[in-house]
Amino acid sequence: MPSAGRAAPDKSRVASPRFYIGTAGWSYPKGAGTWDGVFYPKRLADKDKLAFYAQYFNTVEINSSFYRPPNQYAARAWADKVPNGFRFTAKLWQKFTHPKMFEQATGESWRVSDDDFSVFSEGIGPLHEAGKLGVLLAQFPTSFRPDTQTTDYLEELVRKLKAAKFPLAVELRHREWTESEQTNAIRRFMEEQEVAWVMIDEPRFKTSIRHVPLTSSVAYFRFHGRNYKNWWRHGESEDRYNYLYTPDEQREIAADVREVAAHTEETYAFYNNHFGAKAVVNATQLQMLLDQPPPAAALPEPLQQAFPELLQQVGS
């Protein structure tokens, strides 16, 4: 994975950082990569899946908020289904980060208005009010590269969200963000705004970021899998996430997460290799490697049967 920037000299080590480990999304009911019958019982109603998930993990990354702003009533119901201490993170609406995708999906203009910020803020509000919103995630595509226009937009977006008191993490995928004339200025800006620069693991491409600085008291990791062969296949988008990290890869990941966490107050780690519940397997393994408390319920039998390696001693 890209090496994480180590803490600046004025950052002290934290004795007991808080770890929030989970998956990107919790509902995958369709297709070859469904979680139903593997992680979830086959007849479990959709409305009960979040509460089931929360028996095993203390955080989840909301995926649906990328496609449309959350509904206040849904957000309030989500907050009620999880225990105290559980943290949601939520992807920003694609209108803020993926303008071309938004226009193609909706036929509407991508121009962001103050009303758009209000709609999104109000939708996510119940999670914030319940003390269960950890971070908002601004996930930009690889095509979002540093220039005057994009850096100005990024800074404007960050300032508006921070003004609304939302904790924020930014995922920048193109390596030019860490290897260009704007790099130092962007890093200083994110440090000043207390914005987490997302540390990502994905197949290694020419465009992939190699080094990500630590810019906040919160660290945010995303593990997309390393399915290089299928990453750019068109029409089979879920195939890119059909990847299971090996025990050796997991030990490497755990070492990186632990080192970064030593300089932060909170560390979030999400597995996005969701095909066939592989994210559940790897997130559970990371919990073990980081010596986190065991889940509140026994692991589902179908999951253990599908992934016998889940119970192997990955720390050996």
What's residue 212's pLDDT?
87
- How far CA 153 is from CA of 137, 156, 190, 246, in Å, comes to 16, 5, 14, 38
- How far CA 91 is from CA of 29, 37, 209, in Å, comes to 20, 27, 20
CB pairs under 8 A, 24+ apart, for 38-43?
A: 38/276, 38/277, 38/300, 38/302, 38/303, 38/306, 39/277, 39/280, 39/300, 39/302, 39/303, 40/300, 41/300
Predicted structure pTM score: 0.90
What's residue 103's pLDDT?
55
What does the CA dihedral 112, 198, 61, 208 come to, rounded to 10 degrees?
A: 90
Tell me if 201 sits within 8 A of 228, measured CB to CB: no
Q: With 0-12 CB in 10 A as exposed, 13-18 as middle and 19+ as buried, what is 148?
A: exposed
Assign residue 146 a region (left: φ > 0; alpha: ψ between -120 and 50; beta: otherwise): beta
DSSP 71: P
d(CA 214, CA 235): 35
What's residue 283's pLDDT?
97
What are the domain boundaries of the chain?
3-8+16-311
Cβ-based neighbours of 237, under 8 Å, separated by 6 or more: none
Tell me if 173 sits within 8 A of 140, measured CB to CB: yes
In tens digits, what is the pLDDT along the chain, a chain of 316 residues?
A: 554 444 443 455 555 669 999 999 999 999 999 999 999 999 999 999 999 999 999 999 999 998 889 999 999 999 999 999 999 999 998 888 876 655 566 655 567 778 888 889 999 999 999 999 999 999 999 888 888 888 998 999 999 888 888 899 999 989 998 888 888 999 999 999 999 999 999 888 888 887 889 999 999 999 998 987 776 665 556 788 899 999 999 999 999 999 999 999 999 999 999 999 999 999 999 999 999 998 888 899 999 999 987 766 555 5
d(CA 52, CA 130): 20
Which residue reads 């890119």 in tokens? 240
Tell me if 262 sits within 8 A of 214, measured CB to CB: no
DSSP 61: E
What's residue 16's pLDDT?
62
What's residue 164's pLDDT?
84
What's residue 203's pLDDT?
87
What's residue 206's pLDDT?
80
d(CA 261, CA 196): 12
Phi, psi dihedral angles at 186 (to 5 degrees): -65, -40
Length of the chain: 316
b/e per residue, 31-55, with b = 16+ CB within 10 A?
eebbbbebbbeeebeeeebbebbbe
In CATH, the architecture of 3-8+16-311 is Alpha-Beta Barrel (3.20)
